[in-house]
Chain A
Amino acid sequence: MARLAMLIDTSQCVACRGCQVACKQWNDLEGWLYSRTRNRGSYENPPDLSPHTWTRIRFIEYEGPEGFRWLFLKEGCMHCGNPACVAVCPTGALKQHPKGFVTFERELCNGCGYCTQFCPFHIPRLEVVNPLTGAAKASKCTFCQDRVTNGLLPACVKTCPAKALAFGDRDEMIAKGQARVEALKARGYTQANLYGVDQVGGLGRLYVLIAPPEAYGLPAKPEYPVLASLWQKVVQPLGGVAFGATILGILGAFFLARRNIRMEEVK
């Protein structure tokens, strides 16, 4: 099945943060539990993603070849083609939908937090109820799984007044993004580029950027964490093999001992 993707054109974003509000409204999120709105010396608000802020506009003051300007980045789950969070999730609460995005079932989550530690983009956040008992729930953008699977657009895309957000077939989104990058370059934005085509199995969140990814705080070469593979592909099977071999060895040793040892001769 063809993958779905979101195309975020940062050159068209006016940082109105309507997407933040629409996201919270549709998903019943209560961002004020994590940060009260107050003056931090920037229009950026809230200061970071949280279990109740799944998407957020990051404000970057950028000194580029065209002079000083603001860069706006809509943060949120990248919906990797090869998602490490899904691989390390022991409960199956995180799954990859056949259409490529990473879904989340809150009822299945037991709060172990592995997804928060293995995500190459540091996206999922843990809603900790009690740090001592470990009671918690993970939380992240699901592309509005309940809307998208019913033929609607994600809430943020639906609401974006600047038409900076688009959602649909991933190949179409890539084509659209590339066309936009070319148009930007023709207009003098020499550093324009499309981010997310190949990284970590191809991202479900594509960015048209007008500066290098690093300027936005995006990793230039994000990678599937090696230790997630070591853990899942080596250590876990090793555990099974080691236990199996030990139990078989013990059974073999037991039968040999039973056959060879005469208790009558033992002190």
Chain B
Amino acid sequence: MIVQVKGKPEFIQIQWIPRYTTMERVVHWFHTATFSLLAITGMFLFFPFFQPLIQGQAGITFRLIHRVAAVIYGLVPIIYLILQPRRFLMHIKEFLPQKEDIGWLKAVPAYYLLGKHEAMPPQGRFNAGEKLNGLITIIAWLVFGFTGLLMWFGKGVIPPGLFRWLVIFHDLAMIVSVCMFLVHLYLAVAHPLMWNALVNMRFGVTAVDYAAEHHTKWFYGPKRAMELWEAKKREGAH
């Protein structure tokens, strides 16, 4: 793909390689849609500011929307697991932290704020930030599912003392995951360096140069990536 640089005469060529499977993208967007709907309808009940919106029949309707969205939100990963179990487990394994991730997290403020990429250790298909996002999403899914289903079907059956804790944990999971969602949204749509993030998730492809630079372990394989990283560090030391 050939693109003209904004306001400049020259052209650059972008080569694309596959990064996400169709299933991953479908799961991502279904999750996004249902999570947004759940967060909005849930917050109506959470913040007293929204009181007029949830009174009477309107409130009953929003609570129903919350439940319909919750069913889809809950089923999406389960459908992924049933249709592609090996891929699903591999995907979760990719989210697990590795040694280099700490170095990456230390170097990331300089990258996101100042555009300095030199100090960032090599990363796989997902960098440490994306892994953190993925892991918190999974944990939140478990907490929302457990507390939500119990509050839905257990009200009046389970002891009130337990129900009260469920409300608190449901809300805490909401606070953590909505904060993370906001950061994720910002990086995806507004950060200048993440210009190809939305292309990745919409079409499943990423730019070759970007992948070679930012997802070295995935692009070159772990061995070659570590060699390149060592060489880069030696160069920097001189």
Contact = CB atoms under 8 A, between A and B. Distances in A.
Interface of A: 90-93, 107-114, 116-119, 122, 126, 131-136, 225, 227-228, 230-231, 235-236, 238-240, 242-243, 246-247, 250, 253-254, 256-258, 260-267
Given A122-B160, A134-B67, A266-B115, A91 B193 contact: no
Interface residues on B, range: 35 or more
Nearest to A119: B160
B115 A133 contact: no
Interface string B15-54: 0000000000000000000000000000001111001001
A254 B164 contact: no
Contact of B115 (A90, A91, A257): A257
B190 interface: yes
B155 interface: yes
Interface stretch (B81-89, B96-104, B167-175): B167-175
B229 interface: no
Given A91-B51, A230-B168, A231-B168, 6 more contacts: A110-B58, A126-B155, A235-B172, A246-B182, A254-B186, A261-B192
Contact of A239 (B46, B56, B183): B46
Contact of B179 (A126, A236, A242): A242
Given A116-B156, A122-B160, A133-B67, A107 B56 contact: yes
A263 B192 contact: yes
A256 B175 contact: no
A108 B63 CA distance: 14
A238 B168 contact: no
B178 A257 contact: no
B70 to A, nearest CB: 11
B54 to A, nearest CB: 6
Nearest to B172: A235
Contacts of B192: 257-258, 261, 263, 266
Given A118-B164, A235-B171, A112 B152 contact: no
B113 interface: yes
A113 B114 CA distance: 50
B54 A91 contact: yes
Contacts of B179: 242-243, 246
Contacts of A122: 160
Given A227-B165, A228-B164, A246 B171 contact: no
Given A90-B54, A118-B164, A254-B191, A111 B63 contact: yes
A112 B113 contact: no
B204 to A, nearest CB: 21
Contacts of B164: 117-118, 225, 227-228, 231
Interface of B: 5, 8, 45-48, 51, 54-60, 62-64, 67, 112-115, 152-153, 155-156, 160-161, 163-165, 167-168, 171-172, 174-175, 178-179, 182-183, 186, 190-193, 195, 209-210, 213
Contacts of B153: 131
Contacts of A225: 164
SS of A interface (majority): helix
A225 to B, nearest CB: 6
B131 to A, nearest CB: 20
A112 B59 contact: yes
A237 to B, nearest CB: 10
A91 B63 contact: no
B45 A112 contact: yes
B193 A257 contact: yes
A260 B113 contact: yes
> Which residue, A118, A230, A235, A262, has most C-beta atoms of chain B within 10 A?
A235
Contacts of A227: 161, 164-165, 167-168
Contacts of A228: 164
A132 B152 CA distance: 8
Contacts of B62: 110
Nearest to A252: B113
Contacts of B114: 256-257, 260-261
A8 B174 CA distance: 45
A225 B55 CA distance: 24
A166 to B, nearest CB: 31
B210 A267 contact: yes
